Structure 1
Amino acid sequence: MGHSKIYLTILTLTTVFFLSCNSNQTSNSKEQWFTHRGDLESSNYSGAEQIKVDNVKDIELAWSFNMNDMPDGSRAGLSQCTPIVVKGVMYTMSAKAILYALDAATGKQIWQFDPFNGQQGGGTVRGVAYWEKNGDSRILFGAGPTLIAVNAEDGKPITDFGKNGAVDLRIGLRDDPSDLFTALTSPGVIYEDLYIVGGRLEDLYGSPPGYIRAYNVITGELTWTFHTIPKPGEPGYETWPKEAYKTAGGANNWAGMSVDTKRGLVFASLGSPSYDFYGADRLGQNLYGNCVLALDAATGDYVWHYQTVHHDLWDYDLPAPPNLVTLKKDGIDIDAVAQITKQGFVFVLDRDTGEPIFPIEEKSVPESFMPGEKAWPTQPFPTRPLPFARQYMTVEDLNDVSAENNLALQKQFDSLRYEGMYTPPDLKGTVMIPGTRGGAQWGGAAFDKETNTLYIRSMDVAELITIVERDPAKIKATSTIEQGGNLYKNYCAACHGANRQGNGAVFPELTNVKSRLSKEIAKTKITGGVGQMPGFSRALTDDEIESLLAFLYEEEDRVISEEAASTSQNDKIEYYNISGYTTWIDQSGNPAIKPPWGTLHSLDLSSGEYNWQVPLGNNPELQKDGAPLTGLEGKSGPIVTAGGLIFIGGAEDKLLRAIDKSNGQTLWEYELPAMANATACTYEVGGKQYVSISVGGTTENPSGSVMAFALK
């Protein structure tokens, strides 16, 4: 539901001064890829046109840079970092979260900076930010819970920024910093001399709120804070239980933000409140969870919001920053915000007021049967554009790779609760489509400024929600292995699998963990978090962590005391989803529903109509004779160029593709050494255009690489 703007400040003189002395520009030039998503408007667009439709077949590998910062035998890293390119220098981060500066024309290393000083390191980092003023140029990025600033020229820490070049992002998030997990998976955005950040939090009971904060780029001092779970007297406080700001968590911006420098506004896409799948302790609409939020960039003051999911029970976070777009309606140019969602919607909102450009209807959705839960009775459904992802399925949509597997899927489907999208989690299990990973994901959309066209990648697979009850009175264990198994089921199985089989490259299998990882390192990761995994120091006692390790490392079973058997961290009944974040598959490991499983869409934003929609990627083993491509799952996003091309990778076929933006036809593809689970970038150096992408690790080179392509 839309809300009126409270006020809007036009910073005319300030903006003119800012643009004259600060090279952080609003629109991307063809020479540079200035920010994580090309420009502050999150367009993923470049004016480069040397590589175009009629010559893209002639591009080849220009250079490749191997990171080589992980020991031999390490598990292959999965880099998600989009490089930025400024003045011929590329800045990027490895899967181990080490920062590199490279010559963007040759790939030769200029310098590197290890924020972990040779220690374990790691964590998902999707980009860095660049700031320059009066000859002072800096790179700002996140490493673990820390915001770091280094000199862009030599990679040395800016010692007068924060404490010796670093700011602890855990400080100021309501709770004891020593117990918190937070990380900048997506970089913040620059506005004048401010670095505005959100951050990833643990998606668990007891998570803190995900405040949006602005730090002074020069000093590292905190300038302003916006409370995403409102305090008394702040707009939205009434949408939560009384004093929920003291206990509720989440509603964080992990996907990134966009900036309109002319209006002096920053736009954030917010995630769901915690816990993601059960909200009896947070009854209400839950602002600002799942909101497009506009703030005064200089002060952090509220301007407007639009909530895309009320009282989220499905982890339908807004997965990417809003695209700042201009479209035509009734012959008039309208500045707008286009927000893609995991559900497959595009919410197109007026940039000044947050009011919908196309009508949006509140429709009734199913009620919850969970104890104490009250699902919100309606959800917003845009009437236009139509959804870009599948939002409904029947038994006819189950895959028919084999009759035996199809019959098993039918029996499973019939045993679960399913009443369409927004069917609440249930103790009997629930089918969910789109799943927690979309629809759209963190790769975001690309906006073609020439044609007012939005290009969107979608995943089109189903997911299961399997809710289990964690009653401390019922799960007390008598031995370490029994307790560790119970804890694994509740806290780990959703990502690493019920049988510890893992989930692709993101969540490793744990059946052989003791052969590749010391128990001490594993304990550090469980306690403090790493990569996509949050830390569990707040959720588990020291004794419980030891029991979980005993289970994982198959140690000798030991009788535990009554005190150790109790769950002293939390004595309340809790409900957990133990099958989230994974594709629903059949007995042979195939997606449970028929293809396509991944699609690329071209959307005319002015009309709200799709120009074309094509499967993206292919599994030839599952493609039936004469049938269209199967499409493949993928999280990275497209970029679009003035040369008439879309570049996109990120599927398990390991291909980087160039696609004709006018019709969706693939014109060029290149098989990379590993999956490029990152969005590409493009730039020009010395009059030559390059397309570059971060590539994941291999057995031979676990650190991964950065590769760049150009015309022969």
Structure 2
Amino acid sequence: MPSTSLIPGRSAIDPSGMPWRWAARSRCSSDKLSTGDTSMDMKRRDFLGSAGIGAAGMMALAATKAEAAAAQVGKGQPQPSTLGIAGKDYPKVGGNLANHNHSVLSRINRDNVGRLGGAWHVSLEGGDTTKNQQSSVVAVDGVLYVQTTQQNVFAVDGKTGAVLWKTKVGKRTTNMRGVAVAGDKVFTTSGDNFVYALDRKTGKTLWKTPLLTPEEEGANLVAARPGDDLFKGLPNATLAGAIVHWDGLIYVGMEGSTNGVRGRAYALDAATGKVVWTFWTVPGPGEFGHESWEEGDAWKTGGAVPWIHPSIDPELGLVYWTLGNPYSRTDGSARPGDNLFANCIIALDAKTGKRRWHFQSVHHDIWDYDNVMAPPLVDIEVGGKLRKAVIYGSKVGHYFVLDRVTGEPIHAVEERPVPQEPRQKTAPTQPFPKDGGVLVHQAPDYATSTRPVPFYQAGGIFTPFWDRPTSIFPGAAGGMDWAYPSFNPDTGWITVGYAMISSSYTNVRGGGVNTSRPYGEAFSGGIVTFDPRTNQVVWRKESEWALAHGNNIVTTAGGLMMQGHPDGLLHIMDARDGRTLWTFQTGAGVHTSPITYEVDGEQYVAVLAGGQYYPYADSPKGDHLWAFKLGGSVPPAKAPKLPSKRRDILVASVDGTTVQNRIILGRQWDAKTNAPAGKENFTAENAMAPQVLRVPAGTTVTFLNPADSTSAHGAVAFFDPVFDTGILMPGQSSSHRLDSSGEYFFNDPLYPQNTGKIIVT
């Protein structure tokens, strides 16, 4: 039996308590096939079919009771008034400057939430279902302000739903995550990379400032697109994250780490739009941290972008930004070193942009573990002392509790040795919370949806890779990703959504990097509550849905907790244990923050429902702005088609009769000629021709490895062991009769990213 690689210095039990037996099993099966062994023994059948990720497996997860059954309800700590509160108004994305995502309103509470109903509904874009929506709503003086991906900013009467004004701010669509409102202005970004100040009463443009320009780079960059009103600068970067306003300045972030853009964070004068300071998140020559890019010019395209909004402590005068992964995100061979300030939380002087401190959660990241989030600032009592803390962590499943004055850990963090891949220039150690601080499983588990797709090399966090397809858990869209957590000052707890998703990597895709989530893998997730005072999980509620992609949580003084789901349901739960008290169908996936506000003494709840591409490519999209109140009578929307709970193959299916019920292995499908491409392909995910075949029950399907192939291939169904061709040498074929209706994913045991699907009707 092949040896099992464990992280040095760690026991053979992962933090969730699951044995690390998966490593040996996965490698054993894959290594066995790579030698050409075609035996069909029961162990291999068990590997492919046991603990299947079907309806029964998902229901078992969904039925798991919250770990809160016997949990003691916490008692909170008063928070500084300087951080602000969300009450009658919900004045910014995140609720207040500390990103507590909490409201002090309590008219709607555990006792009466069952009477909640629709107050009004408006389709902001006329019913358009072609775009996802990520903008969270802001409410000030009874008016809601919200953006759409279509580049419109709206002001909507919070009591009636009447649109007061609508302003178009760009032509290049991009994700919009929220405006800032201050005084007589509404601040927004656009996909064309302008920052706008709009008149709060009319929506008229007061000023606009271009950012991400060639002049900032000091480089001769061509225009991204022509036209006087369009952005003429970096073609692979966009402004991103909600805007934050404080004390006459607005704070703006950007995205583009995956495209080789050097990150930067901005502060602009709210009155004029003038750039007050720019902080380059990858330090240049002579700047602190530049030595962490040990050689070459990789720092010039180093990424580390701040793509989610920051937090601000007015008393300390600090702004806290979390920064993205380095570039190239999964190839570390050309950028040795820790690569600051990628994968860091960084505290900057809010007025000057000067660095005060930083903490790096992943050194020399090669997994897209950027841990970008909206970090809550909380005052907590630890060891009998009141501490000013900031909570940081995301995709890897860790939460670090740091002193927000100094950046030092409040709960101990240790550097642990991790597996190495010299070609990747991997860091020898990575930071781990020493006691607690782990919120999600950090390794695959054959009994749950985290079961890896067969024939990939599989591993937990910080598993390195090179030329062999490697499935890593949690993946780049896993852990808590970019779900906004809620800090409930009444309990002292932090609650956040999480996702159970892997990613697969290899560095040999046409000379580039192959980064994806394997076709056919299952998704799930849940909600977890964490006590930052003890560094321990309080309770957990598992879900059939991944809940880490804009499925933001807001708590209230009414003892409630609100969160939207990918199936379009808005959930209101008991904040003590996550028990669902009320749901409402919004008509599209909810991947934005619900909010609550008050108009004329009436408390409302509002949310924008519009879908989100990750991880559900078939997420139901829309433009639904909803408000709810006690006694509301507007009925729910029609339930949309549910997104697939596995990463589905969404290309059009090919009727089996048109291809003699045959699938050609190692070839891509040419949709123009309706025939397999001539060239053999070992790395493409769609190297099955056709990739999706549709046949009636009782059909015999033939799998062929063409005679001109240079390698063996095969096709094995997972996680339903319906067929297994064994290893087919060039010119060999294998036929299998499919009698039961269903959808069957299969992949090549030698080149596991080559994946297809057969639909049996």
Counterpart-to-counterpart distance in 1, 2:218 and 2:94: 30
Asked if residue 122 in structure 1 is aligned to residue 173 in structure 2, the reply is: yes
Shift in Å, 1:106: 1.2
Matches within 5 A, 1:185-334: 185-201=240-256, 203-204=258-259, 207-242=260-295, 244=297, 247-334=300-387
Corresponding residue number in structure 2 for 1:137: 185
Matches within 5 A, 1:672-711: 672-696=586-610, 704-711=623-630
Partner AA of 2:463 in structure 1: T
- Sequence identity percentage: 30
Counterpart-to-counterpart distance in 2, 1:399 and 1:28: 38
Asked if residue 87 in structure 1 is aligned to residue 141 in structure 2, the reply is: yes
The one of 536, 541, 563 equivalent to 1:614 is: 541
Counterpart-to-counterpart distance in 2, 1:106 and 1:75: 23
Partner AA of 2:629 in structure 1: A
The one of 384, 387, 393 equivalent to 2:438 is: 387
**8 Å CA contact 1:433, 1:461 repeated in 2:** yes
Matches within 5 A, 1:326-475: 326-368=379-421, 370=423, 373-395=424-446, 413=454, 415-471=455-511
Partner of 2:324: helix, strand, or coil? coil
The one of 632, 643, 654 equivalent to 2:558 is: 643
**8 Å CA contact 2:361, 2:393 repeated in 1:** no
Corresponding residue number in structure 2 for 1:167: 210
**8 Å CA contact 1:659, 1:665 repeated in 2:** yes
Q: Residues 437-460 of structure 1: CA distance to partner in whole angstroms, max 9, x if unpaired?
A: 121122221001222110011101
**8 Å CA contact 1:337, 1:351 repeated in 2:** yes
Corresponding residue number in structure 1 for 2:237: 182
**8 Å CA contact 1:231, 1:243 repeated in 2:** no
Shift in Å, 1:633: 6.8
Structure in which a larger fraction of residues adopt helix:
1
**8 Å CA contact 2:485, 2:497 repeated in 1:** yes
The one of 79, 94, 100 equivalent to 2:154 is: 100
Shift in Å, 1:221: 1.4
Corresponding residue number in structure 2 for 1:660: 574
**8 Å CA contact 1:146, 1:183 repeated in 2:** no
Structure in which a larger fraction of residues adopt strand:
2
**8 Å CA contact 1:448, 1:454 repeated in 2:** yes
CA separation of 1:285/1:219 partners in 2, compared to 1, >3 Å: closer, same or farther? same
Partner of 1:107: helix, strand, or coil? coil
Partner AA of 1:467 in structure 2: N
Counterpart-to-counterpart distance in 2, 1:219 and 1:673: 40
Q: Residues 302-327 of structure 1: CA distance to partner in whole angstroms, max 9, x if unpaired?
A: 10000000000000112312111111
Q: Which has the higher contact order (CA 8 A, sep 6+)?
A: 1
Counterpart-to-counterpart distance in 2, 1:608 and 1:178: 44
Q: Residues 211-268 of structure 1: CA distance to partner in whole angstroms, max 9, x if unpaired?
A: 1121111121111121211122221111112463763320110012010011110000
Q: Which ranges in structure 1 are unaligned for 5 or more consecutive residues?
A: 1-23, 401-408, 472-574, 619-629
Corresponding residue number in structure 2 for 1:78: 132
CA separation of 1:76/1:248 partners in 2, compared to 1, >3 Å: closer, same or farther? closer
Corresponding residue number in structure 1 for 2:113: 56
Q: Residues 83-140 of structure 1: CA distance to partner in whole angstroms, max 9, x if unpaired?
A: 1011111100123120000111111111000113xx5x421101111122xxx43333
CA separation of 1:183/1:398 partners in 2, compared to 1, >3 Å: closer, same or farther? closer
Partner AA of 1:236 in structure 2: G
**8 Å CA contact 2:153, 2:166 repeated in 1:** yes
Partner AA of 2:538 in structure 1: N
The number of equivalent residue pairs is 533
CA separation of 1:647/1:173 partners in 2, compared to 1, >3 Å: closer, same or farther? farther
**8 Å CA contact 2:411, 2:433 repeated in 1:** yes
Q: Residues 674-712 of structure 1: CA distance to partner in whole angstroms, max 9, x if unpaired?
A: 11121211111111111111012799x975120011111
Corresponding residue number in structure 1 for 2:585: 671
CA separation of 1:67/1:314 partners in 2, compared to 1, >3 Å: closer, same or farther? same
Partner of 2:411: helix, strand, or coil? coil
Counterpart-to-counterpart distance in 1, 2:548 and 2:102: 23
**8 Å CA contact 2:149, 2:174 repeated in 1:** yes
CA separation of 1:395/1:615 partners in 2, compared to 1, >3 Å: closer, same or farther? closer
Partner of 1:278: helix, strand, or coil? coil
Q: Residues 400-428 of structure 1: CA distance to partner in whole angstroms, max 9, x if unpaired?
A: 9xxxxxxxx6xx54x43334311123211
**8 Å CA contact 2:486, 2:555 repeated in 1:** yes
Partner of 1:684: helix, strand, or coil? strand
Counterpart-to-counterpart distance in 2, 1:36 and 1:398: 32
**8 Å CA contact 1:655, 1:670 repeated in 2:** yes
Q: Residues 642-666 of structure 1: CA distance to partner in whole angstroms, max 9, x if unpaired?
A: 1111000032x22100110111111
Corresponding residue number in structure 2 for 1:483: none
Counterpart-to-counterpart distance in 2, 1:446 and 1:345: 16
**8 Å CA contact 1:69, 1:96 repeated in 2:** no
Counterpart-to-counterpart distance in 2, 1:67 and 1:390: 39
CA separation of 1:260/1:633 partners in 2, compared to 1, >3 Å: closer, same or farther? closer
The one of 13, 25, 40 equivalent to 2:97 is: 40
**8 Å CA contact 1:365, 1:379 repeated in 2:** yes
Asked if residue 148 in structure 1 is aligned to residue 196 in structure 2, the reply is: yes
CA separation of 1:88/1:397 partners in 2, compared to 1, >3 Å: closer, same or farther? closer
Partner of 1:188: helix, strand, or coil? strand
Q: TM-score, normalised by structure 1?
A: 0.71
Partner AA of 1:152 in structure 2: R
**8 Å CA contact 1:95, 1:122 repeated in 2:** yes
Counterpart-to-counterpart distance in 1, 2:313 and 2:173: 32
**8 Å CA contact 1:170, 1:182 repeated in 2:** no
CA separation of 1:697/1:264 partners in 2, compared to 1, >3 Å: closer, same or farther? closer
CA separation of 1:436/1:677 partners in 2, compared to 1, >3 Å: closer, same or farther? same
Corresponding residue number in structure 2 for 1:506: none
Counterpart-to-counterpart distance in 2, 1:25 and 1:140: 24
Q: Residues 514-543 of structure 1: CA distance to partner in whole angstroms, max 9, x if unpaired?
A: xxxxxxxxxxxxxxxxxxxxxxxxxxxxxx
**8 Å CA contact 1:173, 1:210 repeated in 2:** no
Q: Which has the larger radius of gyration?
A: 2
Counterpart-to-counterpart distance in 1, 2:611 and 2:281: 37
Shift in Å, 1:436: 0.5
Q: Which ranges in structure 2 are unaligned for 5 or more consecutive residues?
A: 1-80, 222-231, 613-617, 632-761
Partner of 2:242: helix, strand, or coil? coil
CA separation of 1:306/1:702 partners in 2, compared to 1, >3 Å: closer, same or farther? closer
CA separation of 1:398/1:453 partners in 2, compared to 1, >3 Å: closer, same or farther? closer
Partner of 2:457: helix, strand, or coil? coil
Counterpart-to-counterpart distance in 2, 1:633 and 1:322: 15
Matches within 5 A, 1:535-554: none
Counterpart-to-counterpart distance in 1, 2:90 and 2:142: 10
Counterpart-to-counterpart distance in 2, 1:399 and 1:212: 36
CA separation of 1:309/1:123 partners in 2, compared to 1, >3 Å: closer, same or farther? same
Spell out structure 1 runs of 4+ moving beyond 4 A: 394-400, 630-634
Asked if residue 604 in structure 1 is aligned to residue 661 in structure 2, the reply is: no
Partner of 1:670: helix, strand, or coil? strand
Partner of 1:281: helix, strand, or coil? coil
Counterpart-to-counterpart distance in 1, 2:82 and 2:401: 24
CA separation of 1:369/1:421 partners in 2, compared to 1, >3 Å: closer, same or farther? same
CA separation of 1:243/1:189 partners in 2, compared to 1, >3 Å: closer, same or farther? farther
